[in-house]
Amino acid sequence: MQKLINHAFSLALLTFTVVLVLTISVRFSGPSLAKTATWTKVWSDEFNGPANSGVNRSNWLYDHGHGYGCSGCPANWGTGEVESMSDSIANVHQDGKGHLVIKAIRDASGNWTSGRIETKRTDFAAPPGGQLKITASLQQPNVTGAAGYWPAFFMLGAQFRDNFLNWPGVGEVSIMENANGRSSEFATLHCGVVPGGPCNEFTGLSSGEHSCQGCQSAFHTYTVIIDRSVSPEQIRWYLDGKPFFSVNAGQVPASVWSAAVDHSFLIGFSLAIGGALPMALGGGPNATTVSGSSLMVDYVHVYTANGAIESPTSGNPGEVKIVENNGKYAFSPATLTISKGTKVVWTNTSDAPHTVTSDDGKFTSSNAANSIAKNQTYSFVFNTAGTFKYHCSIHPYMTATITVTSATMSP
């Protein structure tokens, strides 16, 4: 739930969160059609920096204060949490022993500071017909007075970066959330619209509270797989390698799933204090809450499988869909990485006409008078390495980027 929501927060959010806690969860039953994956590591951070050093800023961005600060952005990260996020070494640092430490600290006046970081990269995606796996080894805050502690490991749709007002339509995959030091975790897909909608927001499509014994006293692995190699597409969550929850594309309208899942993501870690989830599980922070406990991260790894990058000779195109969500149109995914020689195919799944027009004029589907209609496609073969930005000339707010590499992505 570490995300930005609209101004409807308050009683509605708390009500939905209580439902999340009390509802009997749907457990993982195991997909019969999942393909055997050969995984390729595409990115990682082992947090092997010197003691009391910050995170590698070529990999990570720090979030600051009580929210993103945009016009229309709600305060307190939209969840009611009370801490101010900081890039101070006191709150976010590497410990010199291979760990990232995100520490929540209360000052003498009762004010809390903590940390929230996001990857600079926003291009982590399951390729069409392939899979994306993101896994981290974490130790939840290990403290007796844990009322109000809310650690999270999450993914946000790439379109969220620098927009901040398109949640939950662009998708959030909460890989791990915990509150108040309970021996448990929550796994959730947020999508659609708020409140309500096909994804039952603000709750989302959730596992409910899943047992996680010993997760405060030791490191455990938390993993999510976005699987586009099966039909319907799936998202599966694992604790220490054991599956416990899944959702699939058949549970929501196709346009909602595509807008939330079939694109690239950023990755984040945070340690909030207070807010809707702790409130629903007993409240906090309060007089018993102990300052100075931490979310610890041993590593985070990203893998792709079964066609993470199309080779120039594969004949399989990259895939971009033009989608509509809550009255807005978007290219999905908004960022795509391909190898030189790959053909990209754009498909208009919305009711409105659109164009695909490069900012530098190197490719264009048409002009506004002769655009791509519903269910029509446009394709282009990228034979030159580089970064190509493009837009829709009919709806100029629709922007996207394609990065073309000179060779297949290396591990």
- Predicted TM-score (pTM) of the model is 0.72
Per-residue pLDDT, 134: 98
Q: E strands within 56-99? A: 60-62, 84-85, 92-94
Instruction: Give the C-alpha separation, 176 to 153, whole Å.
Output: 5
CA-derived radius of gyration, the chain: 21
- What domains sit in the chain, N to C, each tagged with a CATH number? 11-305 (2.60.120.200), 318-405 (2.60.40.420)
Decide: 193 and 165 in contact? Cβ < 8 Å: no
Instruction: Give the C-alpha separation, 168 to 171, whole Å.
Output: 5
Per-residue pLDDT, 339: 76
Q: Which residue has the tokens 């000779």?
A: 313
Q: E strands within 146-305? A: 149-157, 172-177, 184-190, 205-206, 210-211, 220-227, 234-239, 242-248, 265-273, 294-305
pLDDT in tens, the chain (411 residues): 444 444 333 333 433 343 444 333 334 444 334 456 789 999 999 999 999 999 999 999 999 999 999 999 989 999 999 999 999 999 999 999 999 999 999 999 999 999 999 999 999 999 888 999 999 999 999 988 999 999 999 999 999 998 999 999 999 999 999 999 999 999 999 999 999 999 999 999 999 999 999 999 999 999 999 999 988 999 999 999 999 999 999 999 999 999 999 999 999 999 999 999 999 999 999 999 999 999 999 999 999 997 433 333 333 457 788 887 667 888 887 777 777 778 888 888 888 899 999 988 888 886 655 689 888 888 888 888 888 999 998 988 899 888 887 644 332
Reading the block at residue 407, the tokens are 């060779």
262-284 CB burial, b ≥16 within 10 A, e <16: bbbbbbbbbbbbbbbbbbbbeeb
Ramachandran region, residue 283 (left: φ > 0; alpha: ψ -120 to 50; beta: rest): left
Reading the block at residue 59, the tokens are 């990999």
β-strand partners of 26? none
Q: Which residue has the tokens 């692995």?
A: 221
Per-residue pLDDT, 344: 87
Decide: 318 and 338 in contact? Cβ < 8 Å: yes
Per-residue pLDDT, 283: 95
Per-residue pLDDT, 340: 77
Burial of 19 (0-12, 13-18, 19+ CB in 10 A): middle
Instruction: Give the C-alpha separation, 174 to 190, whole Å.
Output: 8
